[in-house]
Amino acid sequence: MKQLKKLKKVSFLFLIAVFVITMGNRFSTASVNPDSHMIPGNFSDIALKARLGVVNIRTVKKIKTAGHEFRNIPGNPFGGRPFSKGMPPFGYKQQGLGSGFLIDMGGYIVTNNHVIDNAIQIKVKLANEKEFDAKLVGRDPNTDLALIKIPGGDDLVPLAMGNSDKLQVGKWVVAIGSPFGLEQTVTAGIVSAKGRVLGSGPYDDYIQTDASINPGNSGGPLLDMDGKVVGINTAILRNGQGVGFAIPVNLAEEVITQLKKNGKVTRGWLGVGIQDITPELAEYYGLKEKKGVLVTDVYKADPADKGGIKINDVITAVDGKKIKFTRDLSRTIANSRVGKTINITIFRDNNEKTISVELGERAKSARHNPRQKGSLEEFGFHVVELTWELAKQYGYKENKKGLLVVSVKPESRGYYAGLQQGDLLVEINRVPLESLRDYEENVDKTKDGNLITLLLKRGNSRIVVVKLTK
């Protein structure tokens, strides 16, 4: 009897063991995709092939002061050394560094606009130690991309372009560049997120990665496990570690093509101020889906105005393609041909309708030209007139007047002056601000080189004064 019980116990344990092993095998088989990249044994093959196409860029820049103190920004992705206090002399020359990569045998090199912005000299060093003086082909501040060129040659090794749209969160990526001037540094990590908006420009759509990106990495390539470029390393998060951002290569390719062909980028222009739909706004306007773009301003005589779009319209689609966020609309319009007629679906007064609009060219609108002296774009921040919805969202009194700062470009003049998203500009040069026109008129009256003083509220209690030089 005892032997029978012992036999039953052994049999039972044996069956449990078989079950555990079987289920373990099933789990292992089901959970491992043989086509997916697990943690690679090493990144040597990718590094050896790609490093030949990655370049070190050194610049000499003439810096114009903005009439205020610089802040010491830890982790500055621009590569220069900001002043911790005081003001440098006007016209100060500053050395900068960055990275870039070859895209063809003709010597064309992609980098960031901020790497070569204001540069009076650009030097490129290849992996084989050869050095060249590079010339600027073209740049696009809106996407922070630039194209430079060195003499072509058979010894150049361009990098192949990948497909950032197919890049998945969690996939391994490799960054190569010159952090802190240390050339040909290789770091690896995963894609942490896609579609990140940092408030640095109208076409933000960044790849977030934990592959180390440090000062000097700007402009270098972000590579997939096939060694193809999927992004251009651009920025890091201030006071953060292990968080870097890259411009998707699919967004960059059209810009690069235009820069190579024309030396500049032309984009379709609609002429509206916009913001994302919040749950509160969706409820207020009676939207079934909490997606779409609210029109906060319509610029007079621009395409949207001519087509009949009005303030408080909600744009939900363009040519049948759904628009969920402001970046969707910005990219769709920017990638459309100037002069093209598009069909815009809007929600107005609880009804949906479609309006046809012929797109203009952004550069032809002087009011919104980034190079216009004293413009909001030149200072690196974007504002909209305060509506009651925005006042409620940002905690201001509904009857308050002013211009709400909705974004500040990192490392811009407005950024260094201390402007922050959510600030409310209430006065300019001691004149109350109620509209964009008030701002523009007062800037026009200010002579070049003179100070522009902005009085702003930060929340409902704090008053801040900001000074900028025109």
Residues 6+ apart with CB under 8 A from 80: 61, 94, 95, 96
Compute the distance between CA of residue 202 and CA of residue 70 in angstroms, rounded to an integer.
Answer: 25
- DSSP H helices, 149-278, are 249-262
- Known active-site residue 368: no
Catalytic residue among 140, 144, 224, 328: 144
How far apart are alpha carbons 42 and 46 in whole angstroms? Answer: 9
Q: Is 114 among the residues known to form the active site? A: yes
Determine the Cα–Cα distance for residues 244 and 292; give it in Å rounded to an integer. 28
At 108, is the secondary structure helix, strand, or coil? strand
From CA 222, how far away is CA 432, in angstroms rounded?
A: 47
Q: Is 144 a catalytic residue?
A: yes
Tokens in use for 151? 């003499």
DSSP bridge partners of 295: 274
**What's the gap between Cα 112 and its chain centre?**
11
Record the tokens describing residue 323, joined without a space. 């628009």
Amino acid at 301: A
CA dihedral 152, 96, 239, 454 (to 10 degrees): -120
CA dihedral sign, ordered 34, 36, 39, 41: positive
DSSP result, 314-354: EEEEETTEE--SHHHHHHHHHTSPTT-EEEEEEEETTEEEE
* Whole-angstrom distance, CA of residue 185 vs CA of residue 468: 38
Q: Which of 114, 140, 212, 313 is catalytic?
A: 114
> CA of 286: how far to CAs of 293, 320, 392, in Å?
14, 21, 18
> Alpha-carbon distance 276 to 310, whole Å?
16
CA 147 to CA 101: how far, in whole Å? 10
Q: Which of 192, 200, 212, 218 is catalytic?
A: 218
Beta strands 268-269; 244-248: pairing state: unpaired
The Cα diameter of the chain in Å comes to: 108
Report the C-alpha gap between 358 and 24 in whole angstroms: 61
CB-based contacts of 216: which residues, under 8 Å, 6+ apart? 79, 97, 98, 99, 177, 178, 179, 180, 181, 182
Query: Which residues participate in catalysis according to the annotation?
Result: 114, 144, 218
